[in-house]
Amino acid sequence: MKRKLLVFLLVLTMLVSASSALAAASIDYPVENGHTLSIWAPLNSAAAKKITSYNENESFIFAQEYTGISLEFVHPAIGQETESFNLMIASEEYTDMVTVWNPMYPGGNVAAVEDGVFIDLTDKLDEYSPAFAEILATNTEYWREISTPDGRILAYTGYKNSTDKQEGSYNRLQVRADWLEESGLGILRTIADYEAFFQWILDNKEGVIPLAIEGDGFDATLAIAFELYEANYSLRDGALYASRYDPALKDYLEMMHRWYEKGYLSKDFVSVDRQNAFETGAAAMFSYTSVDTYTRCASLGIPVENLPYLRQEEGQQLHGFYAIWPNNTVYTTITTKCEYPEEAMEFIDFGYTEFGANVYNFGYPERAWVYGEDGKPQYTDYMLHNPDYANINDSTHILKLHSGGIARMRYSDAVTIPDNVLDPGCLTYRLQWMDDPNYDIDYCIPSLVYTTEDNDRHASLWTDIKTYSDEMILKFITGAESLDNFDNYLATLKSMGIEECLEISQRTYDAFMQKTPAK
């Protein structure tokens, strides 16, 4: 009897705790007596063509109606985000919330909290942002990425739970399809293939530059063949390495210098606008985002084709330079000047609930989208064929929230970009070559969060290192500096303290991999 009572009591407590957990797991919108909160956020340049504030964005309109909390957007001038942010900090007149692409405060969010600019969210998350807290509790990788070295949460960040981390490889070499066919060389895969094509262009297309690349000479789509990446650090055999300080850089630079000498690159590739060069027929190939190129070239009537990444030889195992991490950048923080931080937390939490994510990802419910038969949102004609928006890219930023604005849960572009939904060719184009069997993203590392001290030390060394290395990379390519001096280059980097940078980062990365949530 006693035992039965015990079981009964146990079940009862479990039920009670379960129901209280359920109650905490969601916030009842609209909140009572919601206030107006100000939020500083860069306005997407595509959106700025049609609207002056995210208050006109339909996802935000609905979110405010639904949560009962109003927003007042403060947008910095486009192109002056950093200056504007620094000015706001220096003047000590912060908005209630701040959204940035990457932490802008000198020393990162850790320093910002230490200096009393942003607030520490850790202890209040369970109560005021249950949906966000739930994600953190279930996705350790995400928690690791956004928590500080001592396990605190200082910012909401964009969250993308992608099962396929490779989906994001969107930068590819884009080539004029008609010329490629004319040359009869077929799909270009190896360095030899590319050089044959470049030579064919030089011989057959008067005045056309075979290849237009990024102005800094460090083009990701080419450097990948040498295991070199634009990111500061990559991971090989468990150890971090810096591409700027890697012996393989010499091989890459030798190739680029050869291409420069042979005229495959323009003599002033540093200052050439590669997109413009390709679209005006002045360049035969360039590296760029595939979806953008596909749609622009379609409207301009230029035949274009995606190429697989450059390889030194057929079948070489490539390690990609871009992976989708759960932390999809975009950081929203709450400042110490916010009078109602709990309300701000409740508002932001909406974007991490399933319904809220639908609102931001797809637009105004029942207007821009409805639930389809599979229970997933489907766009209506209001989104796909809206007479007010001749260019679907504009509606992407106005009728829904494409990027920026506020941190929230983000779905895959494949389902949320109307372009992809409207024109399956676009999605196919983007996913082309994704089935490459000899491609992985093992060398990518997520963004590292340093302690304030490490960050100061690393930044002060890295700035000069980057300046010097940027300069030398271009000089090696143009031949202003002979590659015989490559060892001197490595020695100079060493004297500038690059090994200390590596050491700091390795330590940070190791700690990152080891830390686990307290709960």
Partner 1 sequence: MAQPSAALKKSFPRRLARNYRQNPYIYWMALPVVLYYLLFHYLPMFGIVIAFQNFRPARGVFGSQWVGMQNFQDFFRSPFAPRLIRNTILINVYSILWGFPAPILLALMLNEVRASAYKRVIQTVSYMPHFISLVVICGMIKEFSLINGLFNDVRAFFGLERVGILSEAKMFRTVYIASGIWQQIGWGSIIYLATLAGADPNLYEAAVIDGANRFQRIIHVTLPVLVPLIVMQFILRMGQMMNVGSEKIILLYTPLTYETGDVISSYVYRRGLQETKYSLGTAIGLFNSLINMCLVVGTNALSRKVLDESLW
Which residues would be at the binding site for partner 1 (CB under 8 A)?
82-83, 86, 89-90, 92, 106, 111-112, 115-117, 215-216, 266-268, 270-272, 459-460, 463-464, 467-468, 470-471, 473-475, 478, 480, 492, 496
Question: Shortest Cβ distance from residue 488 to partner 1 (Å)?
Answer: 13
Q: C-beta of 119: minimal distance to partner 1 in Å?
A: 13
Task: List C-alpha distances in Å: 6 to 15, 312, 516.
Answer: 14, 70, 35
Q: How far is 250 from 229, CA to CA, in rounded Å?
A: 14
Q: Which is nearer to partner 1, 185 or 270 (CB)?
A: 270
Residue 68 vs 106, nearer CB to partner 1? 106
| Other CB atoms within 10 A of residue 281 CB | 13
- Exposed/middle/buried for residue 369 (C-beta within 10 Å: 0-12, 13-18, 19+): buried
Min CB(505)–partner 1 separation in Å = 18
Q: Does residue 236 sit in helix, strand or coil?
A: strand
Which CB sits closer to partner 1, 56 or 114? 114
In whole angstroms, the minimum distance from the beta carbon of 106 to partner 1 comes to 4
d(CA 162, CA 289): 20
Closer residue to partner 1 in complex, CB, 83/127: 83
Separation between Cα atoms, residue 310 and residue 481, nearest integer Å: 25
Of 92 and 374, CB closest to partner 1: 92
Count of beta carbons in the 10 Å neighbourhood of residue 135? 17
Tell me the three-class secondary structure of 296-337, residue by residue: HHHHHCCCEEEECCCECCCCCCEECCCCCCCEEEEEEEEECC
Give the amino acid at 486: F
In DSSP terms, which residues pair with 153 in a beta bridge? 147
Q: Which is nearer to partner 1, 85 or 411 (CB)?
A: 85
Contacts for 241 with CB less than 8 Å, ≥ 6 apart: 233, 234, 235, 502
Shortest gap between Cβ of 144 and partner 1 (angstroms)?
Answer: 27
Smallest separation (angstroms) from partner 1 to the CB of 382: 40
36 forms beta bridges with: 70
Angle at 448 between CA 446 and CA 453, to 5 degrees: 180
Of 244 and 311, nearer to partner 1 (C-beta) is: 244
Strands 209-212 and 283-289: parallel
Q: How far is the CB of 209 from partner 1 (least distance, A)?
A: 9
Q: Which residues pair with 304 in a beta bridge?
A: 176
CB of 421 to partner 1, least distance (A): 38
Residue closer to partner 1 (CB basis): 289 or 463: 463
Nearest distance, CB of residue 117 and partner 1, angstroms:
5
Which 3 state secondary structure label does DSSP give 210?
strand
- Residue whose CB is less far from partner 1, 88 or 304: 88
**For partner 1, which is the closer residue by CB, 330 or 473?**
473
**H helix intervals, 169-247:** 177-183, 191-204, 220-223
Nearer to partner 1, 68 or 263 (CB): 263
SS3 state at 36 = strand
In the chain, what is the straight-line distance between the N-terminal and C-terminal CA atoms, in Å?
36
Q: What is the rounded CA–CA span in Å between residue 149 and residue 110? A: 9
Q: In angstroms, what is the minimal distance from the CB of 281 to partner 1? A: 13
**Angle, vertex CA 467, rays to CA 215 and CA 174, nearest 5:** 20
**At closest approach, how far in Å is the CB of 275 from partner 1?**
15
DSSP assignment of 409-448 equals B---HHHH-HHHHH-HHHHHHHHTTTT-TTEE-TT--PPP
